[in-house]
Amino acid sequence: MGLFSKIREGLRKTKDAMSNKFQLIINSFTKIDEDLFDELEEAMIAADMGVETSVEICERLRKKIKEKGITDPALIYDLLREIISEMLNNDIVLNVTDNLCVILVIGVNGAGKTTTIGKLSAQLKEQGKRVLVAAADTFRAAAIDQLEVWTKRADVDIIKHTEGSDPASVVYDALAVAKSKKYDVLICDTAGRLHNKKNLMDELSKINRIIDRQCEGIDFTRETLLVLDATTGQNAVNQARLFKETADITGIVLTKLDGTAKGGIIVSIKNELDIPVKLIGVGEKIDDLQPFNNEDFINAIFEKKEENQ
């Protein structure tokens, strides 16, 4: 299966909930009126694009219809495609360069952090990068063991301490090894749940201070990736909003897109929080973690029924 075919298949449920629904609504109207806008807005909200984003899309749609003097509802479909593509804007890829790249992976338990780290490690290794993983989620039972299974599968190295250790000390030791042995990428797992937002903020701040100190004077890049479970819909958007208050998030990893119709959250995350989705999970296999591509997403979602036959 080709790359686009895999993405298209992974987004099939989202397409059914979004663009197929839009087509059905548009085809049921013979004129453009407020009832049409109301039904489209309801469909967007139902597709987990969020109230704020759905309202904004409809406002932009009204403006484009007026500017172009459109009276035929059939022409609205392509306008929706255009507006959503504009909202997603340009693709932003992982900032992995020839220098050391430190990737912090954050997110709640169950979102898919461990599998994301495993898949990303394997892919970077295949690209010729020397990858080291820091098992800094020391609070959750079996988190270290699960991560070790994935690193063996990906054939990359791991730095770990005992369960309950100070997460920042794991990152400290991993950075020392990464620098001395000239690894290209250090991926740091972090705790998926701390008692409150202050604890989370303090823990992430401590880890970031250690990274700053340990990497002082060397060229390095830093990514902070928030892993979200797409099946949770707007709850995932709310998680992103909360994590954004405590961390300088550089990108989103949206997992389990193949199992949900809620892929519309990609649009609301970008529009409401201005955080780029950098990676998407569209299956269980290692190569099913894919860089997010705006054009592929739009083409897969807005592929008309007759084009897909």
- As given in the structure block, the two tokens for residue 45 are 């909200």
100-293: CATH, from 3.30.70.980, 3.90.220.20, 3.40.50.170, 3.40.50.300: 3.40.50.300
Other beta carbons less than 10 A from residue 263's beta carbon:
29
Residue 53 CA to its chain's centroid (Å): 17
Mean pLDDT over 285-301 rounds to: 87
Model confidence at 65: pLDDT above 60: yes
**Percent of the chain, pLDDT > 70?**
96
Beta strands in the chain (DSSP E): 100-106, 131-135, 157-159, 185-189, 220-229, 251-255, 277-281, 289-291
Model confidence at 307: pLDDT above 70: no
Looking at domain 3-90+300-304, its CATH class is mainly alpha
pTM comes to 0.90
Mean pLDDT of the chain: 89
Instruction: Give SS3 for 220.
Output: strand
The pLDDT assigned to 13 comes to: 85
pLDDT tens-digit readout, 117-166: 999 999 999 999 999 999 999 888 788 999 999 999 999 999 999 988 99
- As given in the structure block, the two tokens for residue 226 are 């928030």
Where along the chain do its domains lie?
Answer: 3-90+300-304, 100-293
Least confident of 44-48, 89-93, 129-133, 305-309: 305-309
Cα–Cα distance, 64 to 97 (Å, whole number)? 40
The pLDDT assigned to 211 comes to: 94
pLDDT tens-digit readout, 198-248: 787 888 889 999 999 999 989 999 999 999 999 998 899 998 998 888 889
Q: Specify the residue for token string 């008692």.
A: 195
